[in-house]
Amino acid sequence: MTLPVVVIDYGAGNLRSVERALAHSGADVRITSDAASIEQAPAVVLPGVGAAADTMENLRERSLVEPIRDYIASGRPFLGVCMGLQALLEWSEEGGRQECLGIVPGHVAHFRASHLKVPHMGWNTVTWLRDHPLTVGIPQDSYFYFVHSFHPVLDDPAWALGETTYGVTFPSVVARENVVATQFHPEKSGTHGLQLYRNFVAWAAEEARAVPTADHAS
């Protein structure tokens, strides 16, 4: 069967692109801002683009902060994309000091080197630091499409799954237990990006078989 994947709708600009790429990757995509749908989902994707303050504000306004925390605590697969990664950190430098979800120990910092063009915009390589279901079939140092002015700084390097260099070397993919997130936009990264979505869907399906949820028992 096709795995239902819930994409959280909180007004993020890349919602439709993420939806299209997931659908192309074999998921049965459900767009929702409903806490109950998130609670029961076998897999959840948090998209995002733009500013950290807006993102957190929008999540709070829609009362989605606790449902996202609860979902992640349930142990089911979660994918954050771009701002959906940054929101997982404890806080962001963007717009002063913005409190975030606090799932990943660390914070989000601005690209500081003055000779760099910011945003970091375009195709850059990702170096895998270990094996993970998300990386299956994606060669080392493959190119992905980035657009961001801030980057994650991890307190616990064990979270880093992939890294990228733009002035500084930063974790461009984080992963631990049921949580994975990318700083780049896989939905805009051509073949390798779609492969990453396929890998997420396959991994989530595998997890769903191992631990059936009430919604998804089959």
Contact residues for another protein, defined by CB under 8 A: 13-14, 16-17, 20-21, 24, 49-51, 117-125, 143, 145-149, 165-166, 185, 187-195
Smaller CB distance to another protein: residue 39 or 57? 57
Structure tokens given for 36: 């109950």
Smaller CB distance to another protein: residue 129 or 194? 194
Dist CA 62 CA 152 (whole Å): 25
User: To the nearest whole angstrom, how small is the minimum distance from the Cβ of residue 13 to another protein?
Assistant: 6
CB-based contact 6:30 (threshold 8 Å): yes
User: To the nearest whole angstrom, how small is the minimum distance from the Cβ of residue 70 to another protein?
Assistant: 28
Burial class (CB in 10 A: 0-12, 13-18, 19+), 30: middle
Whether 100 is catalytic is no
Whether 39 is catalytic is no
Smaller CB distance to another protein: residue 13 or 157? 13
Cα angle 45, 50, 56 (rounded to 5 degrees) comes to 65
Of the candidates 107, 148, 151, 185, the residue annotated as catalytic is 185
CB-based contact 154:202 (threshold 8 Å): no
Whether 115 is catalytic is no
Of the candidates 19, 82, 120, 148, the residue annotated as catalytic is 82
Q: Kindly give, in sequence order, each residue whose CB lies less than 8 Å from that of residue 43, ignoring residues fewer than 6 positions away.
A: 3, 4, 5, 6, 27, 76, 77, 78, 79, 200, 201, 204, 207, 208
Smaller CB distance to another protein: residue 126 or 161? 126
Of the candidates 151, 187, 207, 216, the residue annotated as catalytic is 187
Which residues are annotated as catalytic? 82, 185, 187
